[in-house]
Amino acid sequence: MGDSVSRKMMNAETEDEATVKRALADCIKESSRLFTELEESSKRWYYSSAPASTIKTPVDVSDALCKSEPVQVLVKLLCTPATSTTATTEASGKGGVIGGDQLSQLVTMLSDTLASEDSAKRRSGTAVFASVLEVALSHSRLLETSVSPVVSFFCDRIADKDCLFQVVRGLDAVLAVQDVSALYDDNEDTTKRCTVVARICRELFIVDVAALNPSLRLIILRILELLWDKYIAKGTVNDITLEEYGKGLARVTTGEREPKSILTMFRIFKEILSKAPVPAPSATAPNAPSPLHKELFEATSCYFPILFVPRATDPGAIKKPELSAALRATLAANIPSSEACLKLMIDKLSSSMEVVRGDACDALVDCCSSFGPQSVKPHMEGIWGGLRDNVVVSEDAELRSKGSLALSSIMSVFEDDTAVLKELLVPIAQDLTRLICSTGTDEQLALNACQMYSHLARSSRQTRVLLLELTAQQLCDAFKGFSSSATTSTDTTTPTEPAIKPVPKLPPHTIIKVLAEVCQACEGLSPAILHPFALPFYLLFTQSLELPSEIHKQHAVMGLGVLVGLYSKPAMPITIPLIEDEDEEEQSCSCEGCSAKSTCNGHCSHAMAETASASPVQAPAPTKNKKNKGGKKKNKKNKSKPKKPAHPQATQSTPEVTPTATSTTTSAAKESTPDVLMEELYQKVPPPPLNREQCVEAVKKIAAFLLPQAQINSKTAATFVEVLSGISRRDPTVIIEQVIPILFTSSSASTLSYMASLSSSHPTVFKVVADELCARLCDNPARNNQVIVIGSSTPSTTTSSTATTPSISVDEEVKLLDTLVQVIKDSVNNEEAVIYNTYSILPKLVTRAFEWVCVNDASQVDMRRHMVYGVAIMLQRVTFSMPFHIQLPLILTTTALFLSGGQSMFMQQTPFSPTIFDPNATTVPKEHYSLSKLFTAVVGSTDPSNIQLLSSAVPVLYECALKPLTPAQSTEATVEAAKCYAAILNKQLPTATSPMMLEPEAITTLLTTLSSSPQKYGSVMLLGWVCKALCLCWYAPYAQTALSALCDMCSLEATGASPDTPRWAAEALRIVAEPCDDALGTHTNANVTPSSGENVFLHVFERFVSQNTGAEVPVLNNNQLSALAYVVSSAPAPLLEKHAEKLLQLGIFSKMVGSQNDSLCKMGLQSLRALISAKSCHATLAKSLRPMFTSIAAVACSKVLVTGAGTGTSSAESGSNTWVAPVQVRVAALQVLSDMSLKMEPCHTLPFKAEVAALVTHVLDDPKRVVRHEARQCRNAWLVM
C-alpha cells in the first residue's frame, strides 16, 4: 500500500513538473514571437519611413509578455498560498509567497536557455524569468532566503547587453517590494562580500548608460533613486560612501536629456551636497572644493542654462521653470565650488541670448545668498560689470527687472558689514549716477539705470542710507548744472549779426524720477533717512515744477507728495507727567463733547471735522476755554502750569530721531523744575527739515496745475490727483484749506472730476466737498426767481436779497450736480458717509429737485429734467444701501414736498427733447426722467416698517394714476404713480414675519373699482401694477381676481371696454410677468414669493383656454397671444414641458417667432430652445415642426431677404415685408435650428435637411460676422446628421 502511495505521489509530481514545462515552453515561444515582431517593426520603420508611433519598443514587448496567457498560467503554478505563520508574515498582506524550490525549479528548466550562446535565446529566457517575477511580485513576495540569490542572478547578467533591459526590469520589480537593507550577495570570497545595495550600485555604475535607449535609462535611474531614498540617504547601508555614490551617479547621468531624469538627478545631487562634509579651508585655498564637489559641479553646470521647451502635446510635462529652479538650488548647495559657480554666472552674463542672461541673474540671487559675503566679495567687480554692460543696456524689460532684483539681493548679503557694503557701493553708485544724468540718445539707458537704482534703494535700510549719502548730492548738483544752463546763455553774436535765441537744455527727467522713487521707498520703510536730504529735494522738486516738461512735473509732484505727507502735519505737543494735588480740578477741552484734557489745543479729531465742515475754504482758529468746570478761574498763585517754551518749529511735525546720550547734571548745578525739564526736552528734539509753510506752498503749486489754464495732459493730472489723495489720507486739513478752495474757483468738468476723486481720499474731505457742492446747487440765487411755497400747488416768484452764494448758470449747475452724483456714488460703501448723505445732503437735493421740475422757461426744461435724473440716480444708489432706521428724514422730506404741491409737478409732463444735448454724451438720460422717478426711488427703498410714513401719499398717488391725459402728455407719470401705489400696497401685505396692514375689504373694493373702468388707460395700468403687487406674494384669491379681470379685458369681454383696452391689458399682463424693477422685488424689503411666476402662468393659461371651451383648438386674438407670450417667456422650463402640447396647439411659439416684434420673437426662440432640450417634448414638437420651421427660417434670413444679398432681389422690390430681426435674434434663430439637429431624433428633422442647407447658403451672406459664424455652426450640425 505504501508503495502505491509513493508511486501516486511521484506520478503527481511528474505531472506537475510536466505541466510547468509545457507552460514554460509556451512562455518562451510567446517571448520569441514578440521579440521577432519588435525587430520587424524596427526594420519597417528604417526602410519604409513608417511613422514613429508604429514602432514597438522593449517596454511594449515586456508589457505584452506579462499580460500573455502562458505567463499568467506559469505564475499560478509557481506561487503557493501563504499558509504558515512565517509565510503570512513575509507576505505582508500579499496573496502568497514564492519559495526557493519554485525558483530553483524555474531556473533549472531555463538553464539551457539562459546559458545559450544564442543571444536571442538568452534574451527570451531572461525575459520569461523577469516577467514571471514581475507578475508574481504584484500579488506575492519572495522568501527572504530567496531575495539575495535572485538579486545576484540579475547582477551577474547586467554585463550582458543583449539581456540588459530584461535584467534591469526584473531587478526593478524585486527592489520595489522587497527589503534588501540587511542582505549580502552570494560571493564565496568573504573578503569581497558586500551588501546587495552596494553590489547593485557598483554594477550599474559601470554600465554605459548614455548609449542606451531612454526607457532603459529611466529604469536604471529609478533603481538608483530607490536605493538612495530607502537605504543610502538614511544611513542603513555603510559599505558605500556618499562620494562613491555621487561620482557613480554623475557618470551614469552624463548626457541625460530626459526632463524627469534630470529633475531626479538634481534632487539627489542637492541632498548629497547637504550631507557631504565640507573640506577644511587652508591658507592657500580657503574654499577649495573636494573631488566630490568638483565632480557634482561639473555634472550640473553643464546643464546651465536650461534651454528646454516642453512638449505641447503633453499637458503634464515638466516645465522649464521647474527644471531651472532645481538647477539653481543644486548649484547654490555646492558652497565649496562657489568660485567656479560665480565665474560661470559672470561669463553667462555676457551671453548674446537674453534668456541666458536672465537665467544667470536668477542664479546669482540664489547662489550669492547661499555662498555668503566672504565668497561673493572677490567677484563683485565682475558681477557688477556684467550687469552694467549687459543687463542695464538691454531693451528687454523682464531681463532688466531680473538684473535689478539680482543686484539688490547680492547687496543685501553685505548688510551686516557697513564698511564692506560702502566699499562695494561706491563704484555702483558712480556708474548709476553717470548713467542717470546722461542725456540725448542715452535717455533709455538712463531710465534703465533709474530702475536699477530704485530696486537697490528698496533692498535694505543700510543700503538706502549709504546710497543716498553717495549719490544725493551728486544728483542735486547735476540737476542744478543743467538748470543753470537752461536759464542762462552767453551772447556770442556780433551787433551786426542777428541774435539767435539758444535752445534751453532741460535737465534729465531721470534725476527727478530716481529721487522721487527714493522718497517713496523711504516713506513706508524708514522715513527718518530722508531728514538730511528733505530740504534739497524739496527745492529741486519745486524748481522742476517750473520746467515746461510734463514728465518733469509728474516726477516732481510724486516726490513732493511724499515730503508734504511727512512734514505737513502739526506736531503733537510734548508733555511731561507731573504730580499734582489731588484736589486740583481737571481742565476740560474747549471743544464740546471732547474727552481730552489739557493736551487737546483744539486739534482733537471731532473739532477738526467740525471746523472742516463749517467752511471748506478757511478753518476757524481753535478757541481756548479759560474757565474750569465750575466756571471759576483757577488759583494761579498755588497752581501754576509749566510754561511751554517757544520752539521755532513747535507746530510742525516731529521727525524720527535716534535717541542720543544726554548729559547728566547735578541738582546743585541745575534745578530740575518742570519749566527746565520742558525746555531741555524741546532742545533735544531737532526741528524738522521742512516747516508747514513750505509744505502748504508746495500743495498750492500742485493744486494750481489742476486748473484749466495750466493746460496739462490727463496723465499728468491723474498723477497730481493721486499725489494729493495720498496727502489727504495723512493730513486732510491741508487739502481742505488749500486745494479745495482753489479747485472751486473753476467750474470746468475736468476740475470738478478731480475734486470728486479727492473726496474719496478721506471722510472729512468728502464732507467738505459734498457740503460745498450741495450749497452751490441748493443756495443758488439764479433760480429764475422761482421757489416753492409749501402748501401751494404752483411755484411763486420771490427775490432773495440775502443770498451770499454767487449766481451760477444752468450749465454750471449740471456740472456741479454730475460731480455731486459721482461723489455720493463713490461713498456708497461707507456707512458713515451714507448716514451723512441721508441727513445733510439728500433732503436738500430732493427739495431742490422739486424746484427744478417747476421751471417755466421752456429752454431749460430738458436740462432741469436731466438734473432731476441725476438726483434720482443718487437716490437709487444710496437709499437702497442705507440702513432702514435712518430713512426717516428722506422719506418725510419727499412726502411733505409731494403732498404740498408736488402732485401737480408730478403730473407736469412735456415731450422729452434731448436735441440740446450731445447725442453721444454719456451723462444724457436715455429716457424721460422727472420727479416721478425721484419719488419712485424713495418709495422703492422704504422699509415695510416705515411704510406708514407714506400712507398719506396713497390717495394722491391713486389720483395721479387715474388722471386722464391729453394725447400730447407722456404716460410716464401715470406708470410711476401706479408703480409707487403698488409698492406701498405690496409692503402692507402679510408675510411670514409681519401681519397684514390693510383690511381685505379695501383690496376687494379697489379691484372692483379698477375692473369697472376698462376704458381708462390709467385704470388698466393701475390694475396691472396692483395685480403685480398681489402676485409677487401670491395673495390669493385677490391675485386671481385681478388676473381674471386683465384676461377678460384682453378678450373684449369686459363691460365698457374701449377698442384700446385689449392692448392696454396685454401691456398690463406684460408688467405682471416681467421681473421686478427698483420699486418692486429687487431689494430685501420687498414681499416676494418664489413661485409667483408659476402661479401667474397657470392662471392666465387656464383662463384663456377656458374662454374657448367649445373649440377643439382654442382660438386666441392677437392681444391674447401677446399677453400669453409674455407670460410664457417668464415661466420656468418644467412648466412649459408639462403644457407643451396645449401651447403648441395654440400655435403660440410660431406666432411669437413670426410676430415681427423684436422682444416677442426673442422670447419665443428662447422658449423653443428650452422645449427642444427636453426629450419628453420631442414627439409633440414634431407635430408642429413645419410652421415653426417656416417662422424660424424667415427670422434667420430676414436681413439677407431685405437687402437682397445673395438673392439678387430685395424685399422692397418684391413688395414683401421689410422687417429685419436684430443680430441677437438672428443668432438665436440659427441656434434653435442647430439644436433641432443635435438634440432631436433624425426621423423628425431629416425632412428639413435640404431646406436648412439652402437657408444657410443665404445666411452666409449676412453682413454680421457673428451671424455668419453661427450659420457655419448650424450647417456643420446638419451635415453630420
Query: How far apart are the C-alpha atoms of 659 and 651, rounded to whole Å?
Result: 21
Amino acid occupying residue 502: P
* Grid coordinates belonging to 1080: 418692486
Q: How much is the pLDDT for 50? A: 55
Q: How much is the pLDDT for 279? A: 77
Q: How much is the pLDDT for 477? A: 86
Q: How much is the pLDDT for 80? A: 62
Q: How much is the pLDDT for 863? A: 63
Averaged over 370-388, what is the pLDDT? Answer: 92
Q: How much is the pLDDT for 619? A: 34
Query: How far apart are the C-alpha atoms of 332 and 352, rounded to whole Å?
Result: 24
Band the pLDDT of 364: cuts 50, 70, 90: very high
Of the listed ranges 448-452, 1025-1029, 1265-1269, the least confidently predicted one is 1025-1029
Of 328, 393, 323, residue with least CA distance to 360: 328
* Grid coordinates belonging to 1194: 424667415
* Grid coordinates belonging to 1124: 400669453
Mean model confidence pLDDT for the chain: 74
Q: How much is the pLDDT for 1085? A: 44
The answer to whether 308 and 259 are in contact (CB under 8 A) is: yes
Q: Would the pLDDT of 269 be above 90?
A: yes
Averaged over 44-66, what is the pLDDT? Answer: 70
Query: How far apart are the C-alpha atoms of 934 and 870, rounded to whole Å?
Result: 9
DSSP state of 1056: T
Of the listed ranges 295-309, 539-553, 654-668, 1213-1227, the least confidently predicted one is 654-668
Averaged over 664-673, what is the pLDDT? Answer: 43
Q: Would the pLDDT of 1076 be above 90?
A: no
Query: How far apart are the C-alpha atoms of 892 and 876, rounded to whole Å?
Result: 17
Q: Would the pLDDT of 393 be above 70?
A: yes
Q: Would the pLDDT of 961 be above 90?
A: no
Q: How much is the pLDDT for 1136? A: 74
Q: How much is the pLDDT for 47? A: 57
Residue whose cell numbers read 451760477: 808
Band the pLDDT of 927: cuts 50, 70, 90: very low
* Grid coordinates belonging to 831: 456707512
Of 718, 713, 725, residue with least CA distance to 769: 725
Q: pLDDT tens digits for 104-117?
A: 778 888 888 888 88
What is the distance of C-alpha 287 from the center of its chain? Answer: 48
The answer to whether 299 and 253 are in contact (CB under 8 A) is: yes
Of the listed ranges 787-791, 940-944, 1015-1019, 1224-1228, the least confidently predicted one is 787-791
Q: How much is the pLDDT for 441? A: 57
Question: Between β-strands 796-797 and 786-787, what pairing exists: parallel, antiparallel or unpaired?
Answer: antiparallel
CB atoms within 10 A of CB 749: 14
Of the listed ranges 232-246, 338-352, 540-554, 1029-1043, the least confidently predicted one is 1029-1043
Q: Would the pLDDT of 238 be above 60?
A: yes
Q: How much is the pLDDT for 903? A: 61
Which SS3 state, helix, strand or coil, does residue 195 take? strand
Q: How much is the pLDDT for 1273? A: 87
Q: How much is the pLDDT for 411? A: 92
HSE toward the beta carbon, residue 607, CA cutoff 13 A: 18
Task: Tell me the percentage of the chain whose pLDDT exceeds 70.
Answer: 67
Q: Would the pLDDT of 626 be above 60?
A: no
Averaged over 814-828, what is the pLDDT? Answer: 75
Query: How far apart are the C-alpha atoms of 1079 and 1028, rounded to whole Å?
Result: 12
Q: Over 264-311, what HEC string results?
A: HHHHHHHHHHHHCCCCCCCCCCCCCCCHHHHHHHHHHHCCCCCCCCCC
Neighbouring residues of 968: CB distance < 8 A, sequence distance ≥ 6? 911
Q: How much is the pLDDT for 298? A: 93
CB atoms within 10 A of CB 425: 23
Q: Would the pLDDT of 343 be above 50?
A: yes
Q: How much is the pLDDT for 676? A: 54
Answer with the residue of higher pLDDT: 14 or 914.
14
HSE toward the beta carbon, residue 1011, CA cutoff 13 A: 20
* Grid coordinates belonging to 514: 530716481
Can you state the angle between helices 259-275 and 242-252, rounded to 10 degrees? 160
Q: pLDDT tens digits for 889-900?
A: 667 677 766 776
Band the pLDDT of 554: cuts 50, 70, 90: confident
Q: How much is the pLDDT for 344? A: 94
Phi then psi dihedrals of residue 1113, to 5 deg? -115, 115
Query: How far apart are the C-alpha atoms of 1049 and 1122, rounded to whole Å?
Result: 13
Q: pLDDT tens digits for 327-340?
A: 999 999 999 999 99
Q: How much is the pLDDT for 655? A: 36
Share in percent of the chain as helix, strand, coil (round to 5):
65, 0, 35
Neighbouring residues of 156: CB distance < 8 A, sequence distance ≥ 6? none
Band the pLDDT of 266: cuts 50, 70, 90: very high
Of 1272, 1269, 1266, residue with least CA distance to 1252: 1272
Band the pLDDT of 525: cuts 50, 70, 90: low
Q: Which of 217-226, 281-290, 496-505, 1134-1143 has the highest mean pLDDT?
A: 217-226
Q: Would the pLDDT of 714 be above 50?
A: yes
Averaged over 434-453, what is the pLDDT? Answer: 82
End-to-end CA, the chain: 80
Helical ranges in 206-258 per DSSP H:
214-227, 242-252
Task: Give 883-928 as a DSSP string.
Answer: -GGG-HHHHHHHHHHIIIIIHHHHT------GGGS-TT-TTS-SS-
DSSP state of 184: B
Of 1150, 976, 1117, 1147, residue with least CA distance to 1050: 1117
Q: Would the pLDDT of 920 be above 80?
A: no
The answer to whether 261 and 253 are in contact (CB under 8 A) is: yes
Q: How far is CA 169 from CA 79, 490, 902, 999, 1146, in A?
A: 20, 89, 94, 90, 74
Averaged over 9-17, what is the pLDDT? Answer: 54
Q: Which of 324-338, 780-794, 1072-1086 has the highest mean pLDDT?
A: 324-338
Q: pLDDT tens digits for 1242-1251?
A: 888 888 888 8
Q: Would the pLDDT of 448 be above 60?
A: yes
Task: Tell me the percentage of the chain whose pLDDT exceeds 90.
Answer: 12
* Grid coordinates belonging to 1012: 369697472
Task: Give 579-595 as a DSSP string.
Answer: ---TTPPPPPPSSTT--
Q: What angle do CA 73, 77, 79 make, to 5 degrees?
A: 115
Band the pLDDT of 765: cuts 50, 70, 90: confident
Band the pLDDT of 210: cuts 50, 70, 90: confident
In the sheet where 96-98 sits, what is the strand order? 80-81, 96-98, 140-142
DSSP state of 741: H
Q: What angle do CA 344, 346, 351 make, to 5 degrees?
A: 90
Band the pLDDT of 296: cuts 50, 70, 90: very high
* Grid coordinates belonging to 138: 504584484
The answer to whether 108 and 44 are in contact (CB under 8 A) is: no
